[in-house]
């Protein structure tokens, strides 16, 4: 894993990182086992894939199709909380807010107006519209369906993105793992409500790791716990993160992070971790 040489007009955060091949289905049990060993995750790491046709999505082995209307948060929760493989079209979703993020509904004038959120999530229609325009979404027209599945199942081979729920201490170590080799400064925003645009929306549309603070709807409908953050990333970043986590663990930087004590002399601990 190497980075391109910096040039006079390229900052460290803009360097392109060379990463390994995309993991295939048979690789995922070992990779997930490593994530669980290094981070002690309590929620199932999952994958998400977009499909050009419904038939492609429905060809996934043992896929479930919902009988009721759901939010995308609920569909993601079925994979991460229940270990199900689930496929949907826009007709399975409760409204355009969910469908637009994954490119199954257009970002049309009505959606961009934000009128349904004005006075509820935002003070004015101008605030609501600004929020809609700020959201990262998959371009409309390319896909007809989406599926989610636990990574260990290997049914999305490979997924378009992987999603990992973790508490803040686990998440900073995961980020440190991504930065171990080929350092890049990650800069993420927060749209607030509809934070799925900050995780799977941004990762699908940019091809880069994307961290989010799950929003009210994700927690109310998707089962996301109070202390959980969400990292979404293309699958080739997962082995890179694990290699970094293993190197950090070898240096004594591992989860759980032991509390050193707020009144202790810090020099002994700092001497080991920071030199």
Which are the contacts of 22, defined by CB distance < 8 A and separation ≥ 6?
158, 234, 235, 236
Q: Nearest to residue 50, comparing CAs of 200, 199, 151?
A: 200
Q: Which of 248, 209, 178, 225 is nearest to 38 (CA)?
A: 248
Q: CB-based contacts of 28: which residues, under 8 Å, 6+ apart? A: 151, 152, 153, 154
**pTM score of the predicted model:** 0.91
- List Cα–Cα distances, 152 to 26, 62, 88, in angstroms: 8, 14, 20
Chain centroid, CA 210 distance in Å: 6
Query: What is the spatial distance between Cα 14 and Cα 117, in angstroms, rounded to a whole number?
Result: 35
Q: How do the domains of the chain map onto residue ranges?
A: 21-256
CA distance 154 to 159: 9
Residues 101 and 73: their CA atoms lie apart, in Å, by 11
Give me the sheet containing 210-212, strands edge to edge: 86-88, 145-150, 46-51, 161-166, 229-233, 210-212
Give dist(CA 266, CA 269) in Å, integer: 6
Token pair belonging to 102: 């994954």
**Whole-angstrom distance, CA of residue 259 vs CA of residue 169:** 12
What pLDDT tens digit does each residue of the chain (275 aa) get? 333 333 334 443 344 445 778 898 789 999 999 999 999 999 999 999 999 999 999 999 999 999 999 999 999 999 999 999 999 999 999 999 999 999 999 999 999 999 999 999 999 999 999 999 999 999 999 999 999 999 999 999 999 999 999 999 999 999 999 999 999 999 999 999 999 999 999 999 999 999 999 999 999 999 999 999 999 999 999 999 999 999 999 999 999 999 999 999 999 889 888 87
- DSSP E strands in 33-169: the ranges are 46-51, 86-88, 145-150, 161-166
Evaluate whether 101 touches 138 at the Cβ level (below 8 Å). yes
Predicted pLDDT at 20: 77
| Cross-strand pairs, 164 | 231
């Amino acid at each position: 894993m190497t980075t391109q040489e910096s040039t006079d007009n390229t900052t460290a955060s803009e360097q392109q990182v060379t990463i390994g091949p995309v993991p295939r289905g048979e690789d995922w049990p070992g990779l997930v086992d490593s994530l669980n060993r290094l981070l002690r995750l309590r929620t199932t790491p999952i994958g998400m894939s977009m499909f050009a046709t419904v038939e492609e999505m429905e060809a996934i082995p043992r896929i479930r199709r919902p009988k009721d209307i759901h939010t995308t948060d609920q569909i993601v929760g079925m994979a991460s909380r229940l270990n199900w493989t689930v496929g949907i079209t826009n007709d399975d979703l409760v409204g355009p807010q969910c469908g637009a993020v994954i490119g199954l509904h257009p970002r049309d004038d009505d959606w961009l107006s934000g009128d349904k959120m004005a006075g509820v999530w935002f003070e004015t229609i101008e605030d609501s519209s600004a929020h809609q325009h700020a959201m990262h979404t998959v371009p409309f027209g390319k896909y007809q369906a989406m599926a989610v599945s636990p990574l260990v199942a290997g049914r999305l081979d490979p997924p378009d993105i992987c999603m990992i729920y973790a508490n803040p201490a686990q998440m900073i170590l995961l980020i440190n793992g991504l930065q171990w080799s080929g350092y890049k400064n990650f800069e993420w925003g927060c749209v607030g409500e509809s934070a799925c645009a900050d995780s799977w929306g941004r990762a699908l549309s940019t091809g880069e790791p994307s961290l989010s603070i799950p929003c009210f709807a994700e927690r109310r409908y998707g089962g996301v716990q109070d202390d959980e953050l969400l990292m979404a990333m293309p699958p080739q970043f997962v082995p890179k993160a694990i290699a970094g986590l293993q190197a950090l663990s070898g240096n004594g930087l591992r989860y759980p992070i032991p509390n050193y004590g707020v009144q202790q002399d810090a020099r002994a601990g700092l001497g080991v971790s920071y030199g």
